[in-house]
Amino acid sequence: MSLKAIGHTNVRVVYGACPHDCPDCCALESEVDEYGRAVCVRGRADHPITRGWLCAKVNRYLERVYHPERILYPMRRVGPKGSGGFARITWEEAIAEITVRWHDIIAQQGAECILPYSYAGTLGLVNGAVTDSRFWNRLGACRLERAICGHAAEEAVLLTVGGRLAPSPEMLLRSKLVLIWGSNPASTAPHFMPFLRQAQRNGTRVVVIDPIHTLTARSADQHIQPYSYVRLGTLIRTNNEVSTRTSGSVNRTFDRDNC
Ligand code: SF4
């Protein structure tokens, strides 16, 4: 996506990575003008997964970053919740107000009454996994199992597969069977899809298990669509039994014969 105005000749290219919590981990290159303003962002053509394109979310990143309605300053709500009234305040006022309120909470009920919720989203390592926990630890706030949305799925993967392994999309090209369970990479990991398509053209069988007829399911060789909790439970139980009957958590015979 380019916001390059005519006359911007003095641009430099800055390399980076997409900050979204997305398995594709796209490699970006941005053109930055002499004022430090990004004027163009695109996927790196020489990256083996990104291959020169970005998804719809990030393709228009600059429009969002430089949008006139983007919130850049602290705003204090005025009027009742939901009324939509906000007034701009300074950073000093915002920090002072939060400090006073947190001191009150800590004095009256203890620091554990403050519960930070944050997860990956668009955070890098420094603000997503280093500085934030030091701050909350120092404060004595409640600890949060951060991935509240994915924990059940992660446990299920650990129990059935034995590890949260993340094979490279390129490995699809060496697989005879690809099982996509409860995931819709056509929408959530689009750079996976060209590899899947190529694998299918090479004869790989693709099976999707998903109660929803997703974009990915539409192009699968087989879509197993659990239509109720009962049937989904049966499927999970069957899978667990298959895993348990084999040595350890991974069915090596199945892997060898099918993957
Ligand atoms: S697919 Fe989109 S969100 Fe995912 S890494 Fe690439 S640009 Fe970022």
Cβ-based neighbours of 60, under 8 Å, separated by 6 or more: 1
Name the token pair of 186: 């056509």
Q: Which CATH architecture has domain 151-258?
A: 3-Layer(aba) Sandwich (3.40)
In this prediction, residue 237 has a pLDDT band, given cuts at 50, 70 and 90, of: low
88 CA to middle of ligand 1, Å?
33
User: According to the model, what pLDDT value does residue 130 have?
Assistant: 82
> Atom 7 (ligand 1): residue with closest C-alpha?
54
Which of 1, 30, 53, 57 for mutating ligand 1's site (highest number of atoms within 8 Å of CB)?
Answer: 57
Which of 17-26, 120-129, 195-204, 237-246 tops mean pLDDT? 195-204
Q: Compute, in angstroms, the gap from residue 171 CA to the centroid of ligand 1.
A: 20
Which among 150, 184, 175 is positioned nearest to 254, based on CA atoms? 175
Task: Please state the rounded mean pLDDT for residues 127-142.
Answer: 86
pLDDT reading at 86 higher than 60: yes
Q: Is the CB of 196 under 6 A from ligand 1?
A: no
Position in ligand 1 atom list of the atom nearest CA 50: 6
Q: Give the model's confidence band at 104: pLDDT under 50 very low, under 70 low, under 90 confident, else very high.
A: very high
Which tens digits make up the pLDDT trace of 238-255?
Answer: 555 444 444 445 555 654
Lowest mean pLDDT among 4-18, 207-221, 222-236: 222-236
Cα 188 to the center of its chain, rounded Å: 8
Going from N- to C-terminal start, the domains of the chain cover 12-65, 71-109, 110-146, 151-258
Architecture per CATH, domain 12-65, reads as 2-Layer Sandwich (3.30)
What is the rounded distance in angstroms from the CA atom of residue 11 to the CA atom of residue 30? 9
Residue 103 pLDDT exceeds 90: yes
- Residues 46-76 have pLDDT tens digits of 999 999 999 999 999 999 999 999 999 999 9
SS3 38: strand
Q: Judge whether residue 258 has pLDDT over 70.
A: no
Q: Is 55 in the pocket of ligand 1 (CB under 6 A)?
A: yes
* Lowest mean pLDDT across 5-9, 98-102, 105-109: 5-9
Q: Is beta strand 86-88 parallel, antiparallel or unpaired with respect to 205-209?
A: unpaired
- 128 Cβ inside 6 Å of ligand 1: no
Which comes out higher in pLDDT, residue 151 or 2?
A: 151
What is the C-alpha separation between 30 and 8, in angstroms, rounded? 14
Share of the chain above pLDDT 90, in %: 60
Please compute, for residue 71, the number of CA atoms within 13 A of its CA located in the half-sphere on the CB side: 7
Instruction: Give the separation between CA 145 and CA 152, rounded to whole angstroms.
Output: 12
pLDDT of residue 9: 66
